[in-house]
């Protein structure tokens, strides 16, 4: 007799789903029904499921998405992934039962992958889930128990670098947090203060419109495709019930010149995105803004502020590496993200890796010439 019964998220009441996420140390914002529904409506085909025990009680939930990749319109990669989430297990089950349920959920994902002829499955557990933060955090990546190998990449070609996640531990005195910032970062904050910059919170629709305006200017300047106002409006509406979306700005002469969007849940804050007007960069608003967000988080009783992932060593993507270097100016504490992947069709992914390696070598040769 099977010990567990797997059911689609569509067959589980949102209230029951979210109660398990809220009570479990495994759960965070990105496993809630609001976030899953948002991701599904934004183009990520949700294959999320729940787990019932023999008594019909919900004991686990697993956010899962089918989102394929087309590489240069040449290779079609069939992919399952968890986004920024991962499985959540009931707080009421024993440690021994937790491991059994953990393995059973990933085995069920393997069955979905086999049925849909998936090429790769990628998992990134939410760092801000209490289970993956001190004092509950374990030393060994729990994904190793289910055959998921880190770091996330298509294959094992040399050049793959394990990322780190910069997290501010907010239980320290404010003076210590400031001194743990780099010298250049502290100097930028002081310069911004001398320039008369102001830090404000504005979670209104008008604030969201201002965030979108700055976001579009900033992303176009750096060669990225910006999101629409509707994209952010849908996110704000979806997270309204949890009051999780926060918008912070820097003002200069009553004009908003820089902004960040923060997600807040349980005892942690996550840096979702930031932007700034190109003409205001000499005023040093970015460091000033993020430092004041950290102070805000501490004052509001939060214990952790995740700045995000970065690479400690150069990668095959120089732009990705350079973007991450900004984050290391804040704080000194890093965590190795619990992430991993399982490749089901090795030959197909190997061909992709070979093509990527050839492209990298050609770029290197062109630069030398």
As a whole number, mean pLDDT of residues 260-276 equals 97
Site of tokens 């061909």: 351
Would you state the pLDDT for residue 156?
A: 43
Q: Distance of alpha carbon 70 from its chain centroid, rounded?
A: 22
Residue 86, Ramachandran bin (φ over 0: left; ψ between -120 and 50: alpha; else beta): left
Would you state the pLDDT for residue 76?
A: 85
Would you state the pLDDT for residue 155?
A: 42
| CA 30/CA 36 separation, integer angstroms | 7
As a whole number, mean pLDDT of residues 58-62 equals 98
Identical fold between 5-160+338-368 and 166-335:
yes
Determine which helix (DSSP H) or strand (DSSP E) holds 246, and give its type and residue range.
strand 245-252
The CA-based angle 119-224-47, given to 5 degrees, is 30
Residue 368 has pLDDT above 90, yes or no: no
Give the single-character DSSP code of 227. P
As a whole number, mean pLDDT of residues 48-71 equals 94
The CA-based angle 67-69-75, given to 5 degrees, is 145
Tell me which of 48-52, 126-130, 155-159, 238-242 is least confident. 155-159
Return the CATH number of the domain spanning residue range 5-160+338-368.
Answer: 3.40.630.30
pLDDT band (50, 70, 90) for residue 316 = low
Phi, psi of 53 (to 5 degrees): -85, -175
Strand partners, 265: 268
Look over the chain and give the mean of its residue pLDDT values, rounded to a whole number. Answer: 91
For domain 166-335, the CATH superfamily is: Gcn5-related N-acetyltransferase (GNAT) (3.40.630.30)
As a whole number, mean pLDDT of residues 65-76 equals 82
Q: Could you report the per-residue pLDDT of 76-104, keeping only the tens digit for each? A: 889 999 999 999 999 999 988 999 999 99
Site of tokens 């992914």: 349
| CA 86/CA 36 separation, integer angstroms | 12
Q: In terms of DSSP bridges, do strands 268-276 and 304-310 run parallel, antiparallel, or are they unpaired?
A: parallel
Would you state the pLDDT for residue 154?
A: 53
| CA 114/CA 95 separation, integer angstroms | 29
Query: What's the token pair of residue 300?
Result: 């509001």
Q: Map out the domains of the chain as residue ranges.
A: 5-160+338-368, 166-335
Residue 333 has pLDDT above 80, yes or no: yes
pLDDT band (50, 70, 90) for residue 271 = very high
């Amino acid at each position: 007799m099977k010990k567990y019964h797997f059911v689609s998220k569509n067959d589980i009441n949102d209230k029951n789903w979210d109660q398990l996420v809220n009570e479990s140390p495994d759960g965070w914002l990105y496993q809630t029904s609001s976030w899953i529904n948002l991701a599904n409506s934004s183009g990520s085909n949700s294959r999320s499921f729940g787990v019932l025990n023999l008594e019909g009680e919900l004991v686990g939930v697993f956010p899962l998405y089918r989102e394929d990749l087309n590489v240069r319109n040449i290779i079609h990669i069939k992919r399952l992934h968890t986004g920024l989430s991962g499985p959540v297990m009931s707080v009421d089950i024993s440690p021994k039962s937790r491991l059994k349920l953990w393995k059973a959920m990933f085995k069920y994902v393997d069955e979905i992958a086999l049925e849909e002829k998936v090429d790769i499955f990628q998992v990134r557990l939410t760092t801000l889930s209490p289970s993956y933060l001190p004092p509950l955090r374990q030393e060994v990546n729990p994904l190793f128990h289910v055959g998921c190998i880190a770091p996330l990449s298509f294959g094992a070609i040399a050049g793959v670098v394990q990322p780190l996640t910069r997290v501010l531990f907010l239980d320290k005195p404010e003076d210590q947090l400031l001194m743990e910032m780099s010298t250049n970062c502290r100097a930028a904050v002081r310069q911004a203060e001398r320039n008369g910059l102001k830090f404000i919170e504005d979670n209104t629709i008008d604030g969201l419109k201002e965030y979108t305006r700055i976001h579009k200017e900033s992303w176009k300047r750096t060669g990225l495709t910006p999101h629409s106002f509707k994209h952010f409006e849908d996110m704000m509406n979806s997270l309204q019930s949890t009051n999780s979306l926060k918008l912070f700005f820097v003002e200069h002469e009553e004009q908003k010149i820089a902004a960040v969007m923060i997600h807040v849940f349980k005892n942690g804050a996550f840096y979702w995105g930031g932007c700034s007007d190109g003409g205001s960069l000499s005023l040093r608003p970015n460091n000033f803004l993020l430092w004041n967000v950290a102070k805000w988080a501490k004052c509001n009783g939060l214990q952790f502020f995740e700045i995000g992932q970065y690479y400690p060593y150069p990668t095959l993507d120089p732009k990705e590496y350079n973007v991450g270097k900004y984050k290391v100016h804040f704080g000194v504490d890093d965590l190795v993200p619990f992430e991993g992947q399982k490749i089901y069709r090795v030959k197909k992914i190997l061909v992709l890796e070979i093509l990527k390696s050839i492209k990298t070598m050609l770029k290197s040769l062109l630069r030398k010439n």
